[in-house]
Amino acid sequence: MTIRLADDIDISRGDLLAPTGDAPATSQDVEATVCHVADRPLAVGQRVLLKHTTRTVKAIVKDIPSRLTLDDLSQHPAPGQLVANDIGRVVVRTAELLALDAYADSRRTGSFLLIDPADGTTLAAGMAGESFATAKAVAATEDEEGWDF
C-alpha cells in the first residue's frame, strides 16, 4: 500500500495518521491501568520498553499510585511494585511523544505492552486512562443490582 501526502512530512512505521480534528493528543506521560503478567516484579524506577501499536519506545516507570485487590476491589495506595497477576495504576514516562487515546475511547490506540528491554519478556498489558472503577462506584453498582458477595 502506498500513501501519498500533499505536504512533505517526515513519517515512518509506527506513526499515526489521523484527520486534524480527530488526532489524539501526544504526550510522554502515560497514566494507565496495567495487568502485570511476568514473574519478576514491576517497580518504580524500572526501565522498560513501551510497545504501542507498531511502535516501541524506551520508557521508565515513574510511579505506581495504587494496586487493586480483587478480593474486595479496594485500592492500596503506593504499593511500590506490582507482582504477577496484580492489577494497578502506573505512570510511565516515555522517551518519545506518543499519540495515545483513552482505552475507553479506542482499544486499538489506548492499549500498550510494557516489555523488559533485557530479554524482550512482556511485563504488563496496559490500558491508557481510567480503566477500572473505584471500589465505592463498584459497591454502589452492586447494591443497585442486588448483588451480595
pLDDT by position in tens, the chain (length 149) = 777 888 888 887 767 777 777 777 789 999 999 999 999 999 999 999 999 998 999 999 999 999 998 888 888 899 999 999 999 999 999 999 998 889 998 898 899 999 999 999 999 999 998 755 443 444 444 444 444 43
Contacts of 15 (CB under 8 A, 6+ apart): 55
**pTM reported for the whole predicted model:** 0.79
Q: What phi and psi values does residue 99 have, to the nearest 5 degrees?
A: -100, 85
Q: CA of 67: how far to CAs of 31, 98, 107, 117, 139, in Å? A: 14, 25, 22, 24, 17
Q: Could you give the CA distance from residue 111 to residue 103 in angstroms, rounded to a whole number?
A: 6
